[in-house]
Homo-oligomer: A and B are copies of this chain.
Amino acid sequence: MLTQSTAAPSLNINRVVPGPLPSSEPFCGLAGHAGLIATEFTYRKDEEIYGEDEPAEYVYQVIRGAVRTYKLLSDGRRQIGAFHLPGDVFGLESGIKHRLAAEAIIDTSVRLVKRRSLEQAAGTDVQVAHKLWTMTADDLKHAEEHMLLLGRKSAMERVANFLLEMDRRLAVAGMMALPMCRRDIGDYLGLTLETVSRALSQLNDEGVLGFSGARQIVLRNRQRLRNMDI
């Protein structure tokens, strides 16, 4: 129900587009490095990129589209840990396995490099090693803030927080086009999709935001949202 992947991505060899790393914004400042070959890859909407506990062979960067990483309980309950948008790196592990699964939310292109080559580079270049550390530390910072949200914030505070986060990350010209559905938002915020929908409707009624389509949102009063977010 939650995952509708149709084929193991590793089998879609025909979609692999190898190439050198571009010198502009190259995997967050990791490229120009001996032995770092980036490959491009495309996933369709809802396609699995990797599964939980799968060997972590690659590190990914979103080029176009959006990705959700999540954990599942045996009865289907899902917690989305993060949404990854163009420019974001995901799938970076210091251990041997991925600890969350990853799926494309919409049609998505990623750049990927072999984790092994990244670790080799880190073994000879302390700058690469430092970059790996700070990327993981940034993920930890996000997780720590999200624990506070999940453990202690009300539904409205969570939704306000989500809107401000997405506004910051993907608004163009004051408008954001959300790639994810209400269920994804709920599974990110520890709520049901109905509760998310009700909170958004209330914010619309209060004039804090405006819709032009369920996933096209414009924030009209960011300060009110910041006050809600505490």
15 intermolecular pairs with C-beta atoms under 8 Å apart:
A73-B148, A73-B152, A73-B230, A77-B152, A100-B144, A122-B129, A122-B130, A122-B133, A124-B126, A129-B130, A132-B133, A143-B144, A147-B150, A150-B150, A150-B190
Chain A interface helix/strand/loop/mixed: helix
A74: CB under 8 A from chain B? yes
- A interface residues, how many (CB within 8 angstroms): 42
A99: CB under 8 A from chain B? yes
A94: CB under 8 A from chain B? yes
Residue of A93, A95, A138, A140 ringed by the most chain B CB atoms within 10 A: A140
Residue of A93, A132, A133 ringed by the most chain B CB atoms within 10 A: A133
Chain B contacts for A134, CB-based, 8 A? 94-95
Contact B129 A71 (CB under 8 A): no
Contact B95 A147 (CB under 8 A): no
> With A and B bound together, what is the CA distance between A143 and B144 in angstroms?
7
Distance (Å) between the CB of A111 and the closest chain B CB?
21
Chain B contacts for A132, CB-based, 8 A? 133
